Structure 1
Amino acid sequence: MKTFLALIGMFGSLSLLSIGGGNTVLPDMHLQAVTGHHWLTNSQFADIFSISQAAPGPSILIVALVGYAAGLGTFGVAGGILGGVLATIAMVVPAAGLMYVITLSWQKAQKSKLRYAVEKGFAPLTVGLILASSLVMSRAADHDWRAYLITGIATLIFVRTKTNPLIVVGAAALLGYVGFV
């Protein structure tokens, strides 16, 4: 029961901090799930992040996988499923409820200077949160200079060109397959 309450508390609070999407809270999710509760290792967290990004659907799928891992360690497969469901509900419901309440008054403040300032302030905040997430995931997944080199080259390609991301991901996968990483 303690694990499930910890999942609800963790993802309920992360839900309210996920400005710009679920990936913006990855650093704190990683810190709590790996370092704080020891539900996963660094490598496992990187693996489930990869799975959640590769799977069709919202990127928030990582929440269900973290919940599954936490519950699995305590109560087996049934606990894993319950952990995944509880974590997902805890991540979605608080943010959705808050957005509903804010939307009711947000529409009334159409020409407000405060609304304009808040909207302009969220863009750099979200970019910073996403950059922090990228750094945490890079540290969790990359283990030697070759992996860091691939990450750096892929980042440069994404930032400097309009290359289809599938080509870059495919090339990185090929390098992993042939044993470069």
Structure 2
Amino acid sequence: MDEESRVNEDGDVLWQLASGFAAISMIAVGGGIAVVPEMNRLVVDVHGWMSNERFAQLFALAQAAPGPNVLVVGLIGWHVAGFTGMMVATLAMTGPAGLFAYGFSRMRARLAGAAWLRIIERGLVPIAIGLIFSSGLILAQAAAQGAKVAWLAVVLSVGSTLFVWRSDWSPLWVLGAGAVLGALFLQ
């Protein structure tokens, strides 16, 4: 492939990363974790940049690292187009949503006490919960597809969810247990 074709292809990929993640950022009610299924659809189904298994691995890596949940976007960008892809994907995911949140907070300050605003905010709660639940479902399915012992992936997903939900222990215990069980059973 000649240099000009490679540059055009890289530009197309960067544009696809930017436009895809900018659009996703605008529906991220409940945070970045709520749009994981849409991220998965974009990078696995639409563009074929990676497999479901690789997506689940990048998500797990991002969750193990300190920092915000949106770190997965940078890892996806890095996987697709290196350092430039990481920067483009991260800015596309955080920029529009950040500007929208800033504008909304300014508007909300002026409309504090409006009954219709409280109704809208309460209506967004079940939407956020549903989006976050669907994220967990997509990730559990991706983990089960890549696992040699699919039942173990399902048991780990359900057990991890219950543990984090019902205990006061750190979620890092779940990550550690998952790593040990994965090393023992999924070789």
1:147 corresponds to? 153
The residue identity in structure 1 corresponding to 2:178 is: A
Cα separation, 2, equivalents of 1:113 and 1:132: 30
2:91 maps to 1:89: yes
Cα separation, 2, equivalents of 1:180 and 1:30: 23
Cα separation, 2, equivalents of 1:180 and 1:51: 17
2:122 corresponds to? 120
1:102-117 alignment, distance < 5 Å: 102-117=104-119
Q: Give the CA deviation at 1:65.
A: 1.1
Cα separation, 2, equivalents of 1:164 and 1:102: 33
CA distance 1:113–1:30, shift in 2 (3 Å): same
Answer yes or no: is the 8 Å Cα contact 2:33–2:69 preserved in 1.
yes
Is 57-66 or 162-171 further displaced after alignment? 162-171
Q: Give the CA deviation at 1:157.
A: 2.5
Is 21-30 or 114-123 further displaced after alignment? 114-123
3-state SS of 1:178 partner: helix
1:135 corresponds to? 137
Segments of 5+ residues of structure 1 without an aligned counterpart are: 72-79
2:34 maps to 1:24: yes
The two structures, once aligned, show a CA RMSD in angstroms of 1.5
Percent identity between the two aligned chains? 34
2:65 maps to 1:63: no
1:76 corresponds to? none
Cα separation, 2, equivalents of 1:159 and 1:55: 20
Cα separation, 1, equivalents of 2:72 and 2:19: 16
Is 154-163 or 99-108 further displaced after alignment? 154-163
Cα separation, 2, equivalents of 1:99 and 1:166: 30
The residue identity in structure 2 corresponding to 1:179 is: F
TM-score, normalised on structure 1?
Answer: 0.89
2:13 maps to 1:13: no
Alignment partner for residue 100 of structure 2, among 77, 98, 101?
98
2:183 corresponds to? 177
The residue identity in structure 2 corresponding to 1:81 is: F
1:155-170 alignment, distance < 5 Å: 155-170=161-176
- For each residue in 1:105-158, what CA deviation from the matched residue of structure 2 results, as whole angstroms up to 9, or x when unmatched? 211111101111122112111111100000001111123112211222222223
Cα separation, 2, equivalents of 1:164 and 1:99: 29
2:6 corresponds to? none
Q: Give the CA deviation at 1:66.
A: 1.0
3-state SS of 1:17 partner: coil
The residue identity in structure 2 corresponding to 1:45 is: F
- For each residue in 1:27-56, what CA deviation from the matched residue of structure 2 results, as whole angstroms up to 9, or x when unmatched? 011011011101111111011001110111
